[in-house]
């Protein structure tokens, strides 16, 4: 009976993982905040354009120095501020608004988009105020 329990747990985890991967939006990559830190420490990080989609008061309370603030609430009116010829890396507070922003930019014709999972809540690096 205990053996069956482990198989059930294994298959539940496997099915959950496959379902998670299947329901991730197509067309852009998802990275962790650790991977973002690695990107920012790479000399080639200027090849990307970094966007923080939180509201200005959230951004001003503390943000990653390389980020440009284009709030999600204003994205559809200000998307032209974001270059189409660069990789776009998007962050927010928790990862939900950045996911929405990634979907919006994809619909607007952007091709190379990266969403930062976990957002600023998971960020352990320095912030600028």
- Residue 117: C-alpha distances to residues 8, 17, 71, 97 (Å): 29, 16, 17, 10
**Structural domain includes residue 46:** yes
Phi, psi (rounded to 5 degrees) for 52: -105, 120
> What residues pair up with 69 in beta bridges, in sequence order?
52
- Between the two ends of the chain, the Cα-to-Cα distance in Å is 57
**Structural domain includes residue 21:** no
Q: Which domain holds residue 82?
A: 28-122
**Structural domain includes residue 56:** yes
pTM of the model: 0.79
Q: How many domains would you assign to the chain?
A: 1
CATH code where residue 32 lies: 3.40.250.10
Q: What is the pLDDT of residues 24-78, one digit of tens each?
A: 556 789 999 999 999 999 887 778 999 999 999 999 999 999 999 999 999 999 9
Q: Which of 10-14, 86-90, 111-115 has the lowest mean pLDDT?
A: 10-14
């Amino acid at each position: 009976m205990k053996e069956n329990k482990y198989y059930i747990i294994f298959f539940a985890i496997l099915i959950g993982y496959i379902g998670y991967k299947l329901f991730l939006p197509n067309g852009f990559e998802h990275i962790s905040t650790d991977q973002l830190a690695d990107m920012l420490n790479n000399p080639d990080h200027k090849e990307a354009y970094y966007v923080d989609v939180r509201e200005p008061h959230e951004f001003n309370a503390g943000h990653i120095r390389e980020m440009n603030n284009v709030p999600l609430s204003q994205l559809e009116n200000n998307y032209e501020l974001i270059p189409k010829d660069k990789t776009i890396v998007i962050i927010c507070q928790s990862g939900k608004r950045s996911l929405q922003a990634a979907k919006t930019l994809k619909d607007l014709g952007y091709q190379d988009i990266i969403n930062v999972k976990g957002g600023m809540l998971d960020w352990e690096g320095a912030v600028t105020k």
